[in-house]
């Protein structure tokens, strides 16, 4: 891809998975060399999620580190195996990932615990085609843009604004590209 071209920005899929063709031009830079932190991006995405929830009269969410670790694993899997989906290529979904990690929410004796998930692929310092020539220059830009993506997708919006959620975990993985990175974000919700 030439510098004046833009990266295609797919919409988050509602179901199934989408195979991605990630460029292998990493420029040799790690996320820390690029000045972007996965932890900072996760917490800023939580912040923008909370703002959106407040704007729509939904309750605030507690950030859950255990859910975040499960979300990180899914984001890394999507990055490594170059797909975007709520299910892995083998068909594993959020419930199966929670079981694999032996996630036990507080009040784990409660029956009927619900979980949900949002995913997104975005970019940092890489032009995003769906937005014309939009470039996220800061970690704040990326976080705000990811939440905007979810709000623009009916299924993801419903998840993000669901008033019954009590906790969320957000996990981020980067695929370095030239002077920036493609960003994979997973958000996992629980109602306890």
What pTM value is reported for the model?
Answer: 0.79
- Do residues 29 and 89 lie in contact, with contact meaning Cβ atoms separated by under 8 Å? no
> Which pLDDT value is given to residue 63?
96
Closest alpha carbon to 163 in 61, 63, 59, 64: 59
Give φ, ψ of 7 to 5 degrees.
Answer: -85, 135
Residue 152 reports pLDDT greater than 60: yes
Please state the rounded mean pLDDT for residues 81-101.
Answer: 88
What's the CA gap between 96 and 87, in Å, rounded? 10
Residue 1 reports pLDDT greater than 50: no
| Selection from 69-83, 122-136, 176-190 with the highest mean pLDDT | 69-83
How wide is the angle at C-alpha 170 spanned by C-alphas 166 and 175, nearest 5°? Answer: 165
- Chain segment 19-47, per-residue pLDDT in tens: 444 444 445 455 565 567 888 899 999 99
% of the chain at pLDDT higher than 90: 42
Contacts with 175 (C-beta within 8 Å, 6 or more apart), sequence order? 22, 26, 79, 181, 182, 183, 184
- Chain segment 153-191, per-residue pLDDT in tens: 999 999 999 999 999 999 999 877 666 778 899 999 999
> Which pLDDT value is given to residue 175?
79
Which comes out higher in pLDDT, residue 189 or 85?
A: 189
Query: In sequence order, what are the beta bridge partners of 180?
Result: 177
Give φ, ψ of 26 to 5 degrees.
Answer: -85, -15
Please state the rounded mean pLDDT for residues 125-131.
Answer: 56
> Which pLDDT value is given to residue 20?
41
Annotate 127-160 with DSSP letters as a single string.
Answer: -BGGGTTB---SHHHHHHHHHHHHHHSHHHHHHH
> Which pLDDT value is given to residue 133?
57
Confidence of residue 138 (pLDDT cuts 50, 70, 90): confident
What's the CA gap between 49 and 66, in Å, rounded? 18
Tokens of 130: 């769906």
> Which pLDDT value is given to residue 160?
97
> Which pLDDT value is given to residue 111?
60
């Amino acid at each position: 891809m030439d510098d004046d071209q833009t990266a295609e920005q797919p919409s988050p899929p509602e179901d199934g998975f989408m195979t991605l063709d990630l460029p292998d031009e990493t420029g040799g830079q790690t996320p820390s060399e690029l000045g972007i932190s996965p932890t900072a991006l996760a917490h800023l995405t939580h912040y923008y999620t909370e703002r959106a929830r407040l704007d729509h009269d939904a309750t605030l969410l507690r950030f859950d580190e255990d859910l975040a670790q499960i979300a990180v694993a899914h984001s890394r899997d999507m990055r490594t195996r170059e797909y975007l989906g709520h299910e892995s290529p083998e068909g594993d979904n959020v419930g199966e990932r929670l079981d694999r990690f032996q996630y036990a929410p507080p009040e784990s004796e409660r029956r009927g615990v619900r979980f949900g998930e949002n995913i997104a692929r975005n970019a940092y310092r890489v032009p995003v085609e769906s937005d014309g020539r939009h470039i996220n220059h800061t970690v704040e830009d990326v976080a705000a843009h990811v939440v905007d993506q979810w709000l623009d997708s009916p299924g993801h919006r419903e998840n993000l604004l669901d008033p019954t959620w009590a906790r969320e975990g957000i996990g981020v993985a980067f695929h370095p590209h030239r002077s920036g990175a493609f960003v994979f974000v997973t958000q996992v919700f629980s109602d306890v």
